[in-house]
Amino acid sequence: MTEHDRQKNLPFLLKPAGKDYLWGGNRLNDDFSKDIPMEPLAETWECSTHPDGPSIVNSGEYKGMLLTDLLHQHPDFLGTHPRNVLSVCNLRDDELPILIKFIDAKQDLSIQVHPDDEYAYNHENGQLGKTEMWYVLDATKDAHLIYGLVHDMDKQSLKKAIAAGNLEKYLQKVSIKKDDVFNVKAGTIHAIGAGALIAEIQESSNLTYRLYDYNRVDKNGKQRELHIDKAIEVADLKASSEPAQPMRVLKYSRGCANEFLYRCKYFQVERLLLNTERIREMLTIATDAKSFMVLLCVDGCGLLYCGNESIPFFKGDCIFIPADSVPMQLHGTAQFLKVNC
């Protein structure tokens, strides 16, 4: 690759797509300065090429382009490993295999489940399934998640509980607090509870099968669609053990600390704590040809330097760093979720 070619592989900010689901609140605008004219603003799809909500490049040479279109022009920005994963899943090698969101749950989300890749491919026109990871950014004192079943069930008993309106007594409630991490594999019956502010990293999928939605109605006075038969077909009906927080070890170096959070075949997530305000050095980062990197700023602010260019970043910003990037430097006091594939 020539130096001219390498200049293409510069980092850029992303502008998210917003979602106004009825359970959302206003914290994504108030706390993360999203400036999206939706009320409620339930989710922002920060890094996405999914057709239901693609992100837009928001800085640099490609500003204003859909991330989908940019990666179609430059599939090398993804790197070799994500493209191999996509080919195994029978998807185009210029699609992003992951989707990164902020979620503001002012009310409880529906009781739901997601299919795995095999089911989604065979029953949903070749789409990906949905395994996801949650990082709790904030939570009210009584906030909780639904995570699996309290004891084994079969399809008939689950269907009977839904029909009788007492499904909730069979679901495992888990209290949550800021900085918790949860792995939610495809097939796990789950829900995010009211009062949770979440960063979610997931497969690039929007397949959700609702089992129960509290008989709520939308702004048009209609109850949202349930998908009971499909949900029961893909759900793991074995009792779930209460999810334990993984052992996490902060590794310190000059100006930063990082800790591993989660890894699956689709993505890896680390937490990166940047603090270079009191030292002269800056943190140097770069990607190799294997994978892109996404830095989701969940707190703080700073500057990212590339040669003579600089990109200011703030809490809530999402930075995409293409594979095989030029070296760059970070300066500031901030916390990121660092995601690659």
CA separation for the pair 79, 94 (Å, rounded): 10
Task: Considering the candidates 27, 83, 210, 271, report the single residue annotated as catalytic.
Answer: 210
173, β-bridge pairs: 146
Helix/strand/coil (H, E, C) string of the chain?
Answer: CCHHHHCCCCCEEEECEEECCCCEECHHHHCCCCCCCCCCECEEEEECCCCCCCCEECCCCCCCCEHHHHHHHCHHHCCHHHHHHHHHCCCCCCCCCEEEEEEEECCCCCEEECCCHHHHHHHCCCCCCCCEEEEEEEECCCCEEEEEECCCCCHHHHHHHHHHCCHHHHEEEEECCCCCEEEECCCCCEEECCCEEEEEEEECCCCCEEEECCCCECCCCCECCCCHHHHHHHCCCCECCCCCCCCCCCEEECCEEEEEEEECCCCEEEEEEEECCCCCCCEEECCCCCCCEEEEEEEEEEEEEECCEEEEEECCCEEEECCCCCCEEEEEEEEEEEEEC
Residue 280 is a catalytic residue: no
Q: So which residues are the catalytic ones?
A: 210
